[in-house]
Structure 1
């Protein structure tokens, strides 16, 4: 006769807040950051910010409220600190969108 499984909600919450999960979130964030750096545009010789966007990527783990319960869980965060990162990602009327973070997340988060 097979044993019955009874899930412990409290146990699942403890697992989701464990250092093991936080470490995995950081690993995935670092992977996405690496892909983002690899595909980041650097600009040409006349660019006053040549390479600055590529070197401004960072990855970290934050605890954020997730879901309807609002309980905080570890979340991997990848960001770019250059002031023009938004324009590189989404584009402007003069510059096409590069979607660096979007492409990096679709490839690197595995």
Structure 2
């Protein structure tokens, strides 16, 4: 006789919000943060804040994330005031896409 499986939506919800899942999401975010720090531009000797961007990466996690607040999530962000321009570029500076490249390379 073949095995039978009946899914419990409540059980799946508990799994998605579990401390185990939250820890795994944070682990993946920390890997992405490490990759981002390794590829982050530092700036030259004439830069007023050399290394500030590289030192400004952070991670956080929550058990109530996602669009419907029903699962564990984690986030990686940069708090440098000019992080947006490093990531996306301007008309004079090319985009570095640090977080995009880090997420593609390190999210496993």
Give the TM-score of the pair, scaled to structure 1: 0.93
Inter-CA distance 41–12: structure 2 relative to 1 (3 Å threshold): same
Query: How many aligned positions are there?
Result: 107
**Structure 2: segments with no counterpart, 5+ residues:** none
Q: Distance in 2 between matches of 1:72 and 1:81?
A: 27
SS in 2 for 1:31: helix
Give the TM-score of the pair, scaled to structure 2: 0.95
The RMSD of aligned alpha carbons is 0.9
For residues 2-28 of structure 1, give each alpha carbon's deviation from its aligned partner in whole angstroms, at most 9, with x where no partner exists.
121101111000100100000000000
SS in 1 for 2:76: strand
Detail structure 1 runs of 4+ shifted over 6 Å in the superposition. Answer: none
